[in-house]
Amino acid sequence: MIKKFLFFSLVLSFGYTTSFAQTTKGASKLEDPDNLASQYFSQVMGVALDATSNVKLYKFIYEWIGTPYKYAGNTQKGIDCSAFTKAIYQKVFNTTIARNSRQIFSMVNPLAKTDLKEGDLVFFKIKSKNINHIGLYLGENKFAHASQTRGVVIDNLNDPYYSRYFYKGGQILDKAKKDLMEE
């Protein structure tokens, strides 16, 4: 509730100040609601957003921040990492993906950390030989995921813990999308 109040207060204050900042050359970028949202999410989440950023993605993640971790959970009362990633892909990208991180990895074109783009997936082998954790890359080495100890959060891939266990990034293959739509 407080997050929503702060969001709308910020939007209103930006809208109010920009109405005085108009010039004869045209409307300011601040008047664009998507740009306002980008600025807000950029400040709150610590991720630099630009005009090409997916505001729907950041809004979705923002609404889930703080949701507790629950193994096999898939609601805002508790969610695990693969269900969180599946929900993002369903709601934001209108794409259905598998339910667990190993199955999802079989649907991607593997990428190196340096090749990741907003919306790509990040896979981890945490104290295991198998993939057992997944998140969604946001840019600038930040990713959103459901942490077992902290719930839904945004973390940095360069954090020593995540850097140590990072396996690969991935982009959903078009073939995998088509196969799921046919099922």
**Over 70: is that where the pLDDT of 23 sits?**
no
Minimal CA–CA distance to 132: which of 119, 123, 121? Answer: 123
What gap in Å lies between CA 46 and CA 31, rounded to an integer? 22
Per-residue pLDDT at 38 = 65
pLDDT confidence tier of residue 172, bands split at 50, 70 and 90: very high
Exactly one of 86, 133, 142, 168 is catalytic; name it: 133
CATH class of the 67-183 domain in this structure = alpha beta
The yes-or-no answer on residue 145 being catalytic is yes
CA dihedral 156, 38, 117, 148 (to 10 degrees): 40
pLDDT computed for residue 102 by the predictor: 97
**Looking at the predicted structure, is the pLDDT value of residue 78 above 90?**
yes
Where along the chain do its domains lie?
1-64, 67-183
Question: Residue 81 catalytic?
Answer: yes
Other Cβ atoms less than 10 A from the Cβ of 84: the count is 25
Which is the catalytic residue, given 145, 146, 167, 172? 145
What is the Cα–Cα distance from 136 to 169, expressed in whole angstroms? 9
Q: Which of 66-70, 118-122, 168-172, 177-181 has the lowest average pLDDT?
A: 177-181
Instruction: Quote the pLDDT of residue 54.
Output: 85
Catalytic residue among 36, 47, 79, 81: 81
> What is the rounded average pLDDT for all residues in the chain?
82
Residue 129 confidence (pLDDT) above 50 = yes
Beta bridge partners of residue 123, listed in sequence order: 134, 168
